[in-house]
Chain A
Amino acid sequence: MFSFIVTGIAADGAGKAFSGFLDLQLSPARLISDFMSASSVGASFINAAAVGAIGLILILWSKVQLSGAAFAAVFTMMGFALFGKTPVNIIPIIIGVYISGRLVGRSFSEYIIIALFGTALGPLVSLITCELGLSGLSAIAVGTAAGIATGFLLPAIAVSMLHFHQGYNLYNLGLSCGFFALFAAALIRAGGHTFDTLMLWHTEESLILTLLVPVLSLVLILTGLLSGGMKSLKDLLAIQKHSGRLPSDFMDMESMEGALLNSGLIGLAGSLYILLIGGDLNGPTIGGLLTIMGFGAFGTHLKNSWPVVLGVIIATLLFGKSLTAPGAILAAIFCTTLAPLAGAFGILTGLTAGFIHLILVHQTGAWQGGMNLYNNGFAGGLTAALIVSVIAWYRSRNSDFK
C-alpha cells in the first residue's frame, strides 16, 4: 500500500495525485472505467492504496487471520480500485453486510470475506449517485441507501451461489454480485435509464506501469524464498497438486512461503503474457494481475490455470478477435476463476471451460449494466455451473451395484 502511494506521487506529483483521487470519488465507475484514463495514473494508485487500507483495517479490526482468503481479498480490492472501486462507493456495501450479519446473529468476522469481495458492486452506488440525474445530498443519500441495501442482501445470495457451482468458480462474489446486478439493472432500466457503454482504457505506455507487477512479483518470490528456503519450493510443488476448489487456502494447506512464491510466479506469468501479446498495461490489466496474484494464495496456481487460459486464447483466435482487445485480455487474466475445474477434472475440462467463458463474458457485462466489476466472476460462475451440472448428471447415469 505504501509502495502504491509512493508510485502514485512519483507518477503525477502529490498535488495532482491527491486532487485526482478526490475527483474519482464522485465519478462513474461502471465497466470499463479505467481510472488512469478517467483521472490520472497517480490518482488511481492513491485510490487503490486507500481502498486496500480499508480492507486491511477491517481485517485487523475483526481479528481475522491474515491468510489466503484475506490476502486475496486485499489484492483484489486494490486491483479493482484502479478501475471502479473507491472508498465512497464501497463503504455503504460493507455497512450493509455488517447489518445483515447482526440481523442473523453472526459476527462481522464470519461475513468479512463477503463484505470485502462484495465491494464489486461499488459502481452501483456510483451510478445512482452520479448518473441517474439526482443532485446534491439526495443523490448521496439514495446512493448510500442503495449500497447498504445491496450489502444487506449479499450474504444470502453468496451462500446460495456457492451451491450453484459447488466451489468451482473462485470468484463466487462475482457470480453473486452479477446475479444481484441483473435485478438492479432491470429496475433501473424500468425507471427509464439507458446504460451507455463506457470504455475508458488507458493506452499510454509507462515504465512504472510496465515494471510494477513484475517487481511486486519478484518481491513476493524473494520473500518466500528467503523466509522458507528449500521448503518453500517443496510447498510450491505441493500447491500445484491441489485442485484449487473453494476454499483452498494455500497458506494453511501448505505454507505462507509456498503461497507467496506461487503468487509471485502467477504475477510474473501474467505480466509476461501481456507483454508477449503486446497488450496495454493499465488500470484494468494491472488490477487483473493483482487479483490473480491474490488468488495465488487462495485457489489459483500455474498447473490448474494454463488449460483455462489456453481455452480463452483458442476461442479468441477462432472467433477472429484480437488477443489485445480489452474484453479478450481481461478474459485471459480473469478466466483463472475457473482454474479449479481444470485442477479437479483435467485439462480437457479446463480448455472447455475457458472456451465457453470467453463466449459468455462478452455478453454478461451488458446484462448487468457494467455495475458488477467482477464480470468475469459472473460469467465464470455460470460456466462452472453448466460444466458441474453436466459432470454430475453424467456421473449419476447408473449405480455401481452389480
Chain B
Amino acid sequence: MKRKELILHLIGEVSNYLLENNPKRLVISLHQEEDGLHLSVLDDNPHSDEEIENVDHALNSPKRPELAGYYGAMTGHDMLGASRLNLLGWQVKHCDVSRTRNGIKVDIWLGGDRFESDQFTIPKKDQE
C-alpha cells in the first residue's frame, strides 16, 4: 500500500472513532520522515478512564501479522458500523492515549525497523 493511502486509512479509522461522539473540534496533526511517521489526533470530548483504557488496549494490541496482512485492509475504509481500533493497533509501531485539557490525544507512531519513536515528536507549538 502506498504511504499516502495508508495515512488516509489511519486517519480515517481514528477519526471515525472520535467523531462517533460528535466533538466540536477534531485536530489532526501529521509529521512524516523518511523512515516513519507520527500522527496525532485530538478531540474536545470528555472520555471516561475506562474508555481511555479500552482505546489504549485496542491500539496497543499485540502484533498480529496474520490478521493485519488480510483484515487490516479494512482499516479506515469500511465505515458502516462501529470503528475498530484494533485493526489499526495490529499495524502500527506504538500508540499513546492521553488526556488533554478538554478531551483526549491519540498519538500513533508507524515506521520501519530503523524508526525510533522517542526521537520523533511533534513540536509543542503544533499541539496547542
Contact = CB atoms under 8 A, between A and B. Distances in A.
Interface in A203-245: 243, 245
Contacts of A62: 66
Contacts of B65: 64, 107, 109-110
A344 B81 contact: yes
Given A162-B71, A252-B61, A64 B66 contact: yes
Nearest to B63: A65
Chain A: interface size category:
20 to 34
Given A166-B81, A243-B82, A113 B74 contact: no
Q: In the complex, which of the residues B68, B70, B78, B86 has the most CB atoms of chain A within 10 Å of its own CB atom?
A: B70
A247 B67 contact: yes
B80 A388 contact: yes
Interface in A149-183: 155, 158-159, 162-163, 166-168
Given A64-B66, A109-B66, A162 B73 contact: yes
Contact of A163 (B64, B66, B70, B78): B78
Interface string B51-86: 000000000011011111111011001111110101
B67 A159 contact: no
B78 A166 contact: yes
Main secondary structure of the interface of B (DSSP, over half): loop
Given A65-B64, A344-B81, A392-B80, A163 B69 contact: no
A163 B77 contact: yes
Contacts of A359: none
Interface string A361-402: 000000000000000000000000000100110010000000
A112 B81 contact: no
Contacts of B82: 243, 344
B38 to A, nearest CB: 24
A195 interface: no
A158 B78 contact: no
Contact of A114 (B62, B70, B78, B86): B70
Nearest to A110: B69
Contacts of A167: 71, 74, 78, 81
Given A159-B70, A166-B79, 17 more contacts: A64-B65, A65-B66, A69-B67, A111-B69, A162-B70, A163-B74, A163-B77, A166-B74, A168-B81, A245-B81, A246-B74, A247-B71, A249-B64, A252-B62, A252-B64, A392-B80, A395-B80
6 contacts: A110-B65, A113-B66, A167-B81, A245-B84, A253-B86, A395-B80
Interface of B: 61-62, 64-71, 73-74, 77-82, 84, 86-87
Interface of A: 62, 64-65, 67, 69-70, 106-107, 109-114, 155, 158-159, 162-163, 166-168, 243, 245-247, 249, 252-253, 344, 388, 391-392, 395
